[in-house]
Amino acid sequence: MRAAWKVLCLFAVVLVVSLGLAQLLVPDIVPVGFAEEPQPLWAVMTAFLLRAVELIAASVAMIALAVIAGVYLRHELRRLWRGRTDVTR
């Protein structure tokens, strides 16, 4: 369970850092090759890379959160089930 919390925290930090870097380095750049105005290639590639890191970090954090919620729910259901079977005996 601690590993899931560590993964969640790590990838939450990675997400926040990549969002911050995107706003700092390439604030007005669209992370695709098509835009109304010409954009420098390095900025488009940087924005694309940072957006990919953001999406991966968010996905991993959501998976870790789902695992944590599942383990917690399983624990609570087992506790309730044990309490119910002890009362009926």
Q: What is the pLDDT of residues 41-86, one digit of tens each?
A: 888 899 999 999 999 999 999 999 999 999 999 999 999 988 777 6
Instruction: Tell me the pLDDT band of 40, cut-offs 50, 70 and 90.
Output: confident
Q: State residue 59 phi and psi, 5-degree precision.
A: -65, -45
pTM of the predicted protein model: 0.79
Number of domain units in the chain: 1
Res. 39: pLDDT tops 90? no
Q: Which domain holds residue 47?
A: 2-88
Residue 68 DSSP SS3: helix
Q: Is 20 exposed, middle or buried (0-12, 13-18, 19+ CB in 10 A)?
A: exposed
